[in-house]
Amino acid sequence: MTGATARTVEDKSMVNIDYRTLGTDGPLVSTVGLGCNNFGRQGTLTEYQEGTTAVLEAAIELGVTLLDTADMYGGAGTSETLMGVALQGKRDSVVLATKFGHQDYDMGILPGVPKGSRAYIREAVAGSLTRLRTDRIDLYQMHTPDPLTPIAETIAALDELVDEGKILFYGHSNFSAAQIAEAAAAGGRFVSAQDEYSLLARGVEAEVLPAVRAHGLGFLPYFPLQNGLLTGKFTRTQRPADTRIMRQRPYLVEDAPWDVLEAYAAWCEAHGITMLEATFGWMLAQPGLTSVIAGTTKPEQLALNAAASTAWTPTAEEAAEISRLFA
Ligand SMILES: NC(=O)c1ccc[n+]([C@@H]2O[C@H](COP(=O)([O-])OP(=O)(O)OC[C@H]3O[C@@H](n4cnc5c(N)ncnc54)[C@H](OP(=O)(O)O)[C@@H]3O)[C@@H](O)[C@H]2O)c1
């Protein structure tokens, strides 16, 4: 199989990075982003400050500007806290995106208060600003929809934060197409949507991505590498033990569609590109998609992702061929 390990990045200053506007009205961000849910994650090199700082310093050196975290990542604010320390004095080099209000996670603030309410949002943003050691969040995302709070109340609270300068833009995550339309109809100035999307998870193509495009939102795909399965480092028989997926969810490797992944590996080989380059190239060719926010645990992985983000641009036919392999 053609693997990400087939290439190395010797000199970070030689890596080209592209930038796109997030949706029609959002901030300018690098097309390779950095997912920050590994910061504080047990058993990874980024569990503690040193490993996190190393990855963030690599991001700044490479010109990877979009950092995507959430108040819950790493457990109750840990990712944000580690980032706040690492980014001291470097805050202006990055576009800081975080999230609030995941329905399945309790941050321990205002128990029982709905997470889309004004009261909750004001408490949540204060916590994130403190942990991130900053006076503003560039992109503040509602992590999951709140079934209890009218979206108009959430929008008013977010607009208030924009007026106060505490956040510059806001977005949503895990919204259905109907919820995206409802949020826009209620006057929300959301600039982005974030949902699971990769060659192995294409559910958003039916309704969510068309809604994203119709409303001029930027799109940030989560699990873009399917936990590393789409980097080429796993094969039907080779399963590096020192990986998040083998440590935490080995069944995902066991149950992966190996016939399809082997056909993909052969396609990449035939086109003289690594699987990582094909995966980034295919994703960035999808209309509306702004930045691939892959998570990493090592500076070298980030450098490979950054290089892959501009290494190869598929023709329309090549992108369609890859799509068909995973149909
Ligand atoms: N909005 C939401 O509800 C939501 C949900 C989930 C995630 N997210 C966001 O999406 C981001 C991305 O998701 P994710 O990090 O969980 O999944 P991912 O990007 O699909 O996979 C990341 C994993 O792939 C491996 N990897 C990355 N680059 C590699 C490379 N060049 N070569 C080999 N392996 C590489 C690393 O794991 P190992 O080195 O350990 O193998 C890394 O931890 C998150 O960080 C988070 O910001 C959002």
Query: Taking the C-alpha atoms of 87, 91, 95 and 96 in order, what is their torsion angle to the nearest 10 degrees?
Result: 60
Angle at 245 between CA 140 and CA 242, to 5 degrees: 115
Residues 316-320 have a mean pLDDT of: 97
- Say yes or no: CB of residue 295 within 6 Å of ligand 1: yes
Strand partners, 222: 196
How many other CB atoms are found less than 10 A from the CB of residue 54? 17
Per-residue pLDDT at 5 exceeds 70: no
Residues 45-64 have a mean pLDDT of: 96
Could you tell me what percent of the chain has a pLDDT over 90?
Answer: 90
Q: What is the pLDDT of residue 228?
A: 94
199-205 — which CB contacts under 8 Å span 24+ positions?
199/226, 199/230, 199/264, 199/279, 199/282, 199/322, 199/326, 200/226, 200/229, 200/230, 200/256, 200/257, 200/326, 201/226, 202/326
Instruction: Pick the closest to residue 137 from 176, 177, 80, 72 (CA basis).
Output: 80
**Ligand 1 test: best mutation among 44, 199, 219, 223, most atoms within 8 Å of CB?**
223
Q: How do residues 61-92 score in pLDDT, each as one tens digit?
A: 999 999 999 999 999 999 999 999 999 999 99
Task: Report whether 2 contacts 269 (CB < 8 A).
Answer: yes
Position in ligand 1 atom list of the atom nearest CA 308: 31
Residues 6 or more apart whose Cβ sits within 8 Å of residue 318: 271
* Residue 4's pLDDT band (cuts 50, 70, 90): very low
Amino acid at 56: L
Kindly report the pTM of this predicted structure. 0.95
Q: What is the pLDDT of residue 244?
A: 86
Backbone angles phi, psi at 104, to 5 degrees: -100, 10
Q: What is the pLDDT of residue 12?
A: 78
Per-residue pLDDT at 182 exceeds 90: yes
Can you tell me the distance from the alpha carbon of 162 to that of 173, in angstroms, rounded to the nearest whole number? 18
Q: What is the pLDDT of residue 8?
A: 80
Residues 34-38 have a mean pLDDT of: 97
Task: Name the residue at shortest CA distance from atom 27 of ligand 1.
Answer: 296
* Residue 135's pLDDT band (cuts 50, 70, 90): very high
Q: How do residues 276-313 score in pLDDT, each as one tens digit?
A: 999 999 999 999 999 999 999 999 999 999 999 999 99
Per-residue pLDDT at 189 exceeds 50: yes
**Ligand 1 test: best mutation among 225, 247, 291, 304, most atoms within 8 Å of CB?**
225
Task: Name the residue at shortest CA distance from atom 41 of ligand 1.
Answer: 243
How many other CB atoms are found less than 10 A from the CB of residue 220? 28
Position in ligand 1 atom list of the atom nearest CA 305: 31
**What are the catalytic residues?**
73
Q: At what angle do helices 258-270 and 316-325 cross, to 10 degrees?
A: 160
Instruction: Determine the length of the chain.
Output: 327
Q: What is the pLDDT of residue 6?
A: 55
What mean pLDDT, rounded, does the chain reach?
95
Q: How do residues 191-246 score in pLDDT, each as one tens digit?
A: 999 999 999 999 999 999 999 999 999 999 999 999 999 999 999 999 998 888 89
- Say yes or no: CB of residue 309 within 6 Å of ligand 1: no
